[in-house]
Structure 1
Amino acid sequence: MNLQSTFVNTLNQLLGQTVEIALGNNLMEAVISFAGNEILAVVELGTGGYGYGSNLLTTYIALSAVDFIRIL
């Protein structure tokens, strides 16, 4: 089993979990919704903007762009 498949398996065990993701110089707080062979789908938190309620933004990230993921 290679490292990427182990990483994907671990991410799939964390579905629905809130995490902090480091991408280069950016940090993102999000909920993991899908992890595939080369892609991670997350729902970003804190993207609500102004007013009531919040806008849920699904973001797709290449796994090769992820520096680290911290479980919150």
Structure 2
Amino acid sequence: SVHDPALFIHLSPRGRTLLLLYVDDMVITGDDPEYIAFVKARLSEQFLMSDLGPLRYFLGIEVSSTF
């Protein structure tokens, strides 16, 4: 992103996927669950990762879903 070098945005006909990095934490979100699974699989091939499930807290901020 031109606004934040730690924010990566992927646009496709199926939707938008956002990947946000902060030190050793990562948030992946978007409109296409299949593409999110693809990104997570490719990253886990290169890096030791743990999937902590749905986002609840990030950087001390509580996150809740509205859908």
- TM-score, reference length from structure 1: 0.26
- TM-score, reference length from structure 2: 0.28
